[in-house]
Amino acid sequence: MLIYRNLPPIQALTFDLDDTLYDNRPVIRHVEQQVAAWLHREHPITATQPMAWWQALKLRIAQDNPWLPHDVTLWRYEQIRQGLLALGYAPHQAEQAANDTIDQMTHLRSCVDVPEETHRVMSHLATKVPLVAITNGNVDVEKIGLSRYFQRVFKAGPDGHAKPYPDMFAKARAFLALPAQAILHVGDHPVTDVQGAKQCGFQACWYNDQGLTLRATPQMKLLPDVEIQTLSQLNQLIL
């Protein structure tokens, strides 16, 4: 653990989810592969266009509607719906297919292997201070077994703009009814987590389990208050 600033007393913790409390990278790869296979099987016309076409469509609709990247579920829905419309589906067919795809994605998205260390640490911390989740993703915390640790979960889209925008940080602070500087936000991303937290007055804990360094992390524009390499190190901060 590296401490870069004097830490005021920590009265609550907010947590990023993906790639902080579990490794989300293999989950996303699996989701992408399985959703594509499901679409090709259930709606064969989707296989007539390469993945590059679908990715270009996803970027284009985000340019037309800048809100979409703040709600990843809605963004995926619109990608499928508009793609199928372009391939000749009637509007009601495209909408039904997009809804069915989201159901498949939601199921696969919750196939997360949460490490035992995460459960041990979160169980301990939840007895010490209030815990709140702030995520840009769309995982179901109840289905992956993490809901019991959090007093509240804020998700980009339903709860406002994605991090590093201040929407969810502000909602977390209001829910906790604490000064921002009394809250430590824990997350792996230099921009969405560290920068987002610091710009909202939170203390920021950079979860760096990838062996990175500050100097070799160009996205790190604001210095975190503390850096940890394992979640269990949080137990040294919250006694």
- One pLDDT digit (tens) per residue for the chain, 239 residues: 999 999 999 999 999 999 999 999 999 999 999 999 999 999 999 999 999 999 999 999 999 999 999 999 999 999 999 999 999 999 999 999 999 999 999 889 888 999 999 999 999 999 999 999 999 999 999 999 999 999 999 999 999 999 999 999 999 999 999 999 999 999 999 999 999 999 999 999 999 999 989 888 899 999 999 999 999 999 999 97
- Amino acid (one-letter) located at 50: P
Strand pairing category for 12-15 and 152-155: unpaired
Helix axes 51-64, 72-86, angle to 10 degrees: 120
**Dihedral (C-alpha) 186, 190, 191, 192: value to the nearest 10 degrees?**
-30
- Amino acid (one-letter) located at 42: E
For tokens 């703009």, name the residue. Answer: 161
Q: Is the peptide bond before 26 cis (omega within 30 degrees of 0)?
A: no
Assess contact for 117 and 230: CB atoms under 8 A. Answer: yes
Spatial distance between the Cα atoms of 150 and 169, rounded to a whole number of angstroms? 15
- Exposure on the CB side of residue 5, measured as CA atoms within 13 A: 16
Q: Determine the distance from the C-alpha atom of residue 152 to the mean position of all C-alpha atoms in its chain, rounded to a whole number.
A: 15
Spatial distance between the Cα atoms of 68 and 59, rounded to a whole number of angstroms? 10
Alpha helices in 43-138 (DSSP H): 51-64, 72-86, 91-109, 116-126
**Dihedral (C-alpha) 112, 154, 61, 85: value to the nearest 10 degrees?**
60
- Dmax (CA) for the chain in angstroms is 60
Domains for the chain: give ranges and CATH numbers: 2-22+114-236 (3.40.50.1000), 26-110 (1.20.120.1600)
Active site residues: 16
Residues forming a β-bridge with 132:
14, 152
pLDDT for the residue numbered 111: 87
